[in-house]
Amino acid sequence: MSRRPSTIPRLLIVPAGLAVALFALPILALIARAPWGELTSILSDDDTGRAVGLSLVTSLITTGIALAIGVPLALVLARTRLPGRRIILAVCTLSMVLPPVVAGVALLSVLGRRAPLGRLLDDWFGVTVPFTGAAVVIAQLFVAMPFLVITLESALGSVDRGPEEMARALGARPWRVLTTVTVPSVRSALLAGTVLTWARAIGEFGATITFAGNLPGVTRTLPTETYLALQNSPDRALMLAVIQVGVCLAVLIALRRRWVPAITGGRP
């Protein structure tokens, strides 16, 4: 690919460089200051293992549930003339801009033991949601699923409807049109939304610690573990942080090839 000659003022290079430094310096510092000698001992200790396992399991469950209910939501919002669909979309994506701790408080106010729905669940089924693994997943869903919904909804809204109509004309019923035409046509956006949701879920901290607490092995996820480690063993926190950077980087690189079309809207 040949580059076109630059047409922007040269001075812009200064603020652009500042932006790059903002992102790159902390990561570089993290890698430089991490106690690499303790990598194996930290990786193999029980607390780390439990936190990593919990984070992986809950974030994957969250991603699965997000696909199961978020894809239908995006379809309903993009493909029906539901009255007030704009308002529904705003409500369903509000948590993207809410402070996560506010999300946690909001969840407690409906599912907390003394909250209306929480009390019903407790009285009728003896189920308490807060401070359980389920609470971790709910907190993650609340803040992460909008990324899938909004990515998919906008892709569905802009995709050409011609192929779907052709499929119907050829005799395809709604489920077949959905699975053989609609979903393949937004495949890139679906993948991008899924990855964004998973990444947001595995990194969730504020809503989780507010709504689910930090019980080791039950609700103490990797970000919580990292935050707690910072209080008494900063080296351990550094090492945990580096591990998380590594995981995220690995996922980004693995998906890069399929991920690029979603961003550029073109071919790989």
Chain positions contacting another protein, by CB under 8 A: 160, 162-163, 165-173, 176, 180-181, 184-185, 187
CB of 189 to another protein, least distance (A): 14
- CB nearer to another protein: pick between 46 and 160: 160
At 267 the three-state DSSP class reads coil
- CB nearer to another protein: pick between 181 and 199: 181
Angle at 141 between CA 137 and CA 143, to 5 degrees: 125
Question: Rounded distance, CA 147 to CA 142, Å?
Answer: 10
Question: Rounded distance, CA 251 to CA 245, Å?
Answer: 10
Identity at 142, one-letter amino acid code: F
Q: How far is CA 75 from CA 35, 182, 190, in A?
A: 48, 10, 12
Question: Rounded distance, CA 197 to CA 52, Å?
Answer: 18
CB of 208 to another protein, least distance (A): 38
At 137, list the tokens: 């997943």
- CB nearer to another protein: pick between 93 and 180: 180
CB of 79 to another protein, least distance (A): 15
CB of 236 to another protein, least distance (A): 48
CB of 180 to another protein, least distance (A): 8
- CB nearer to another protein: pick between 91 and 166: 166
CA distance from start to end of the chain: 13
- CB nearer to another protein: pick between 113 and 176: 176
